[in-house]
Structure 1
Amino acid sequence: MPSSPARPLHLAGTSPVHALPPEVKIVAAFVAVFAIVATPREAIWAFAAYLAILVVVWRIAGISARRLAPRMLIELPFVVLAVLLPFAEGGERVTVWGLSLSVPGLLAAWNILVKGTLGVLVSLTLAATTPVRALPGGLSRLHLPGIVVTVITLMLRYVDLLVAELDRMRIARIARGDDPRALHQIGAAARGVGGVFLRSYERGERVHLAMLSRGFTGTVPLATAPARPRDWTLALLPAGGAVAVAVAAWWV
């Protein structure tokens, strides 16, 4: 189940972070994101501490900020929302560079930007240090319902296939004189997406029947050994540090 060939998320490596079982990294990422979200937006020093913890993990795992930067574009819609908030919100206003901005809007924009950015960075760190094929096994060890793990497994397996199919359809339309930038062609694009959806549904049924005929019992087989107490300790050190920062932010 490879990642996208154009911009793979996983970075192969032999660091201690890469060697940790996937279930402990999933729990650590969840705890870290929860701590970030629970932090009061006024505690600017706390968010700097979270970034410092991430930088330490990146140094250990051999991940460069230049590698993560292009993948941060996923949060662009939240950035647009954050930019509009200081203009749209009411309440007390302040003038910045000749612009009248809402103070509550500025605080809300800062809250969205800093927490969203740190959350995406935590997710990208998990993806960079954990192979995609290992995630379903980790979720199974965390006792996620079998049907959910199966859906996630098939989604990870076939998402690249669907993207490639959409790209082939786009190239075929362009070769026949279609201009995907023209507004009047949006109907053709929508019909193409609908066709891919129907074929994906039919493919899913066929794959499920093939899995049942080969003895599939509804659970993803576990190919790795369970995590040891030492693995949990190492993985939860950064997450524990994030929780300590969040608690301190509420007390300070």
Structure 2
Amino acid sequence: MKLSPERVVLDTNNAHEHGHGVGDHLYVHRHSLVHDLPAQVKTVAAIVFIFMVVLTPVHAVGAFAVYLGLVFVVVKIADLPFPLVLRRMLIEIPFVLFAVLMPFFGPEPRVEFLGLSLSQEGLWSAFGILAKGTIGVATSITLAATTRARDLLQGLETIGVPDLLVQIASFMLRYSAVVTDDLSRMKVARESRGFSATGIKHWKVLANSAGALFIRSYERGERVHLAMLSRGYNGTIIDLYKPVVTKKDWRTAMALPIIAASIMVIAWITL
């Protein structure tokens, strides 16, 4: 039995590509309206939305409830698993711990709650940090889950972020896995020689490992840079794939920040 030769063309920009690229461990593959929007459009919409949330007066409790509801509507439209989004939001726990302490150290006047003397201004400050932080984190998680890292970086470059910063972020994503693998191999090498970090006396060995990892990463960076220069690199990286952005995309994405802006204005007027 003979198989006729066929030419197979892999379109890496196809919307049905299920493979994840470098740095796409946060991306959740779905076919949704949110996923299909260009990265720069989603990025601008997310930034403006968060900006409107931050500008909202802290006493407008109802406004923050509506903001959070809007974010979860977007999560639903994007077909993202709610448990996944909630798990990723645990990253804000340090901010929660900081906010919990504020009512105890705030100025007068104070209120009594369960036998505790709490600052009224501290309570409002804690609520503001929790509300605005939670909404901002949820928005960022939704953006990361619906946009590939490569597209997000390209979108940042499109909206005016300096090329150098975008390239640095791109190489950080690309080589973070390589550096992590080096670190894992060094750990295995230490353990194979019977090493176990149990106290301060072992810090010297760990410091030497960190220094060796830094030197190895620095030398790798030099080799990569020389290889790029030999291939004509002049400070800019040409991207052959440019997504087409339509007015409909902008109208769809900016609906969220426009609603948020309206709520913010109403909150200030009725305050």
The reply to whether TM is greater than 0.5 is yes
Instruction: For residue 91 of structure 1, give the secondary structure of its aligned residue in structure 2.
Output: coil
Q: Which of residues 81, 92, 95 is equivalent to 1:75?
A: 92
Q: Which of residues 154, 157, 163 is equivalent to 2:171?
A: 154
Q: Does 1:105 align with 2:139?
A: no
Q: Does 1:136 align with 2:156?
A: no
1:249 maps to 267
Q: Does 1:233 align with 2:251?
A: yes
Please give the per-residue CA displacement for 1:203-250, whole angstroms capped at 9, x wherever unaligned: 222212212222223223331323111111111111211222222211
Deviation at 1:181, TM superposition (A): 6.2
Structure 1 residues 175, 43: CA separation in 2 closer, same or farther (over 3 Å shift)?
Answer: farther
Q: Does 1:59 align with 2:60?
A: no
How many residues are aligned here?
A: 249
Q: Does 1:211 align with 2:228?
A: yes
Higher deviation after alignment, 9-18 or 181-190? 181-190
Structure 1 residues 174, 74: CA separation in 2 closer, same or farther (over 3 Å shift)?
Answer: farther
Paired amino acid for 1:150? Q
Runs of 4+ aligned structure 1 residues displaced above 6 Å come to none
Instruction: Tell me how far apart the structure 2 counterparts of residues 251 and 180 of structure 1 sit (CA, whole Å).
Output: 60
Q: Does 1:22 align with 2:39?
A: yes
Pick the structure with more helix per residue: 1
Instruction: Tell me how far apart the structure 2 counterparts of residues 36 and 70 of structure 1 sit (CA, whole Å).
Output: 22
Gaps of 5+ in 1: none
Gaps of 5+ in 2: 1-20
Structure 1 residues 180, 250: CA separation in 2 closer, same or farther (over 3 Å shift)?
Answer: farther
Instruction: Tell me how far apart the structure 2 counterparts of residues 157 and 201 of structure 1 sit (CA, whole Å).
Output: 15
2:15 maps to none
Instruction: Tell me how far apart the structure 2 counterparts of residues 99 and 172 of structure 1 sit (CA, whole Å).
Output: 53
Structure 1 residues 179, 118: CA separation in 2 closer, same or farther (over 3 Å shift)?
Answer: farther
Paired amino acid for 2:235? G
Instruction: Tell me how far apart the structure 2 counterparts of residues 231 and 43 of structure 1 sit (CA, whole Å).
Output: 31
Structure 1 residues 92, 17: CA separation in 2 closer, same or farther (over 3 Å shift)?
Answer: same
RMSD: 2.0
Please give the per-residue CA displacement for 1:131-189, whole angstroms capped at 9, x wherever unaligned: 01112211221122211111111111112222333333344444444445645544544
Larger Rg: 2
CA contact (8 A) 1:40 1:250 kept: yes
- Give the percent of matched residue pairs that are identical in Structure 1 and Structure 2: 44
Structure 1 residues 62, 39: CA separation in 2 closer, same or farther (over 3 Å shift)?
Answer: same
Q: Does 1:3 align with 2:23?
A: yes
User: TM-score scaled to structure 1, two decimals?
Assistant: 0.90
1:196 maps to 213
Instruction: Tell me how far apart the structure 1 counterparts of residues 96 and 28 of structure 2 sit (CA, whole Å).
Output: 26
Structure 1 residues 176, 119: CA separation in 2 closer, same or farther (over 3 Å shift)?
Answer: farther
Structure 1 residues 249, 188: CA separation in 2 closer, same or farther (over 3 Å shift)?
Answer: farther
Structure 1 residues 143, 182: CA separation in 2 closer, same or farther (over 3 Å shift)?
Answer: same
Paired amino acid for 2:268? W
Structure 1 residues 94, 178: CA separation in 2 closer, same or farther (over 3 Å shift)?
Answer: farther
Please give the per-residue CA displacement for 1:15-64, whole angstroms capped at 9, x wherever unaligned: 11111111101111110111111111111111111111111111110012
Instruction: For residue 152 of structure 2, give the secondary structure of its aligned residue in structure 1.
Output: helix
Structure 1 residues 115, 188: CA separation in 2 closer, same or farther (over 3 Å shift)?
Answer: farther
Instruction: For residue 117 of structure 2, give the secondary structure of its aligned residue in structure 1.
Output: strand
